[in-house]
Structure 1
């Protein structure tokens, strides 16, 4: 049964009856089931958290009838029942018909209740539904955030966020791929949180930084200001401008080094600046940015290093730059790129 929830979004979970029962009427069996699910699918933790918030935000107005009024109503019903019974005794067929009519009303009431709940969940889901911005291979896009901050999305990236941000809650976005953020500071010092994956979250007050999540690694580069990188094991790193932290998602291990922010974030200007970058790393960038598959005919080439600036608007110009820089043959056929010695 776990498998059916593997690719559920927060909206899917919120609309699921089994999940709703766990949130609203939990018991030991339900707790065990969903705890096991989270252990097997830790990547779904964020979706489940959002779904629980959606369901709990559905409020039903309740009215408690005063005891005196309740007794009066019950007495009237009881008296009416006695008088009706004295007038005539229904035959067995009428009793059966009355019973089934009552059961029909019960079923209709149950269906109506489900429709009301489903409608409420639908509207709440739409209120919580994330706005999503995506870039295609080779595309760079600037996104204006609700608070006036900006995010520049690199190619093959996705940014998700709520459509409206409250002034008394943290500002939150979810990123896959790479984005460069320029965050404004608010008067009430609201936190700005960038959720990268289940292993790390970037916490910001006001700053410029780059976040990349690709191939099981998260990279955070701070250009200016101050950020705190919160890791899964509850450890946190306070970064300084010019620092780059790389986190391996599976092990949560990280490395930190100093880089030139302008060089590292040069992709915003549709170029990449290399300073002794191994071809092996350049290949990863090519595959992520352009969506191509790269084949190296001579394994020794992967250790060759590149220097200089390469334009990224057009893949053919980029490949030509590699060919000239390393003095190698680079050919592209369809979605496949082959690099070999001349």
Structure 2
């Protein structure tokens, strides 16, 4: 049967008022990912009501190990006199051992899950677009297949720093003390802002920053000798997978912002690039059968409801045949994805 716990029991746990049996139930309850998210929500509520609390998992773990060492049996001090006394001592000692082991298991589990303690993840699936309001009232729109990691504690009152994998548009709330907002990407690109609107893209083939309002500063942390770069509205900065950096001024931004409205916008975009964007957004494989077709270009705005809806429009415009070569079967392979092959049809003779 699934374990359910009330908020009051968890709050008692934060205050050290729970019994050994309740600690065991809490440990079983935390095995459920949904319970973990509820646990962190209640922890944040309790921390707001008890501002003196600052979680320090490493210190707690060290204290628990010290506790176990302190309760280790000292056999030299035990005198075997009367049997009832020995049994009573052994019973108490085993109980203390059990309590210490439960504490170690709870603290060790918290230590192993410290990233989940400290950070909250916002994630979107393929084809999903999601808008998030951060504690400092900044707004983030996450594109498909993206992850934003935000500190659970002190965000807004202290340093504002997030990590992004994928693509997102940020509308940053300006703070009275001009506190910076920092976005970091896996390829060690750092974006620093005060109050502005911009898009950050960071995937396998590199990173990109599109600035629509305000001013941002970029740094390449894997090259500490490189000078910071200041971007102005209309600028687009790119960092390739190989580490090549470029900055373009006075660019047309709508094509980079269309995904917020669940659309694709192309301007003389190659079929190869369109195929890549469809694969990236919907989590499918799109294969262009020949080089001549991959070099053809296309312009226009297309509604991005599904991979097949976009591909069908391309097929009608470019006289292309779409063949699905792999049917996904989630019951057999959860990672199985459909593959679409684009092939040029022969021109009809009038």
**Which bracket does the TM-score occupy, shorter chain normalised?**
0.5 to 0.7
Determine the structure 1 residue equivalent to 2:217: 228
Give how far 1:187 is off: 0.8
Task: Say which SS state the counterpart of residue 233 (structure 2) adopts.
Answer: coil
* Counterpart for residue 179 of structure 1: 168
Residue in structure 2 matched with residue 128 of structure 1 by the alignment: 117
Structure 2 partner of 1:71: none
Q: Which aligned pairs between 1:10-25 and structure 2 lie closer than 5 A?
A: none
SS at match of 1:301: helix
Alignment match, 1:3: none
Unaligned runs of 5+ in 1: 1-52, 62-80, 82-89
Residue 263 of structure 1 aligns to a residue whose secondary structure is: helix
Indicate yes or no: 2:208 matched with 1:205: no
- Count of residue correspondences: 260
- Which of 215, 225, 230 in structure 2 is aligned with 1:238? 230
Whether the aligned pair in 1 keeps the contact of 2:141 and 2:168 (CA below 8 Å) is yes
Highest CA radius of gyration, 1 or 2?
Answer: 1
Higher-RCO chain (CA-CA 8 Å, sequence separation at least 6):
1
Kindly indicate whether the alpha-carbon contact (under 8 Å) linking 1:199 and 1:252 is maintained by their aligned counterparts in 2.
no
SS of alignment partner, residue 197 of structure 1: coil
Kindly report which structure 2 residues correspond to 1:327-338, keeping only aligned pairs within 5 A, or say none: 327-332=319-324, 334=327, 335-338=338-341
Match of 2:141 in 1: 152
| Equivalent residue number for residue 340 of structure 1 | 343
The structure-2 alpha-carbon separation of the partners of 1:320 and 1:54, relative to structure 1 and needing over 3 Å to count, comes to: farther
Aligned to 1:138: 127
> Offset at 1:300?
2.1
Write the mapping of 1:259-278 to structure 2, written as runs, cut at 5 A. 259-278=251-270
Instruction: For 1:192 and 1:314, locate their aligned partners in 2 and report how far apart those are by CA, in whole Å.
Output: 34
Cα distance in structure 2, aligned partners of 1:311 and 1:321: 10
Q: Which residue of 2 aligns with 1:312?
A: 304
Give the match for residue 11 of structure 1. Answer: none
Partner of 2:72: none
Residues 149, 197 of structure 1: alpha-carbon distance in 2 compared, 3 angstrom cutoff? same
Contact kept in structure 2, 1:192 and 1:205, CA below 8 Å = yes
CA distance in 2, matches of 1:60, 1:293: 49
CA RMSD of aligned residues (A): 3.5
Task: Give a deviation string over 1:118-138, Cα, whole Å, max 9, x none.
Answer: 656767849834222222211
Conserved in 2, the CA contact under 8 Å of 1:176 and 1:196? yes
Instruction: Show structure 2 runs of 5+ residues with no match.
Output: 1-54, 64-76, 328-337, 346-350
Q: Tell me the CA shift for residue 275 of structure 1.
A: 1.0
Q: Give the Å deviation of 1:179.
A: 0.7
| TM superposition shift of 1:169 | 1.5
> 2:203 and 2:317 mapped to 1: Cα distance?
26
1:252 matches 2:243: yes
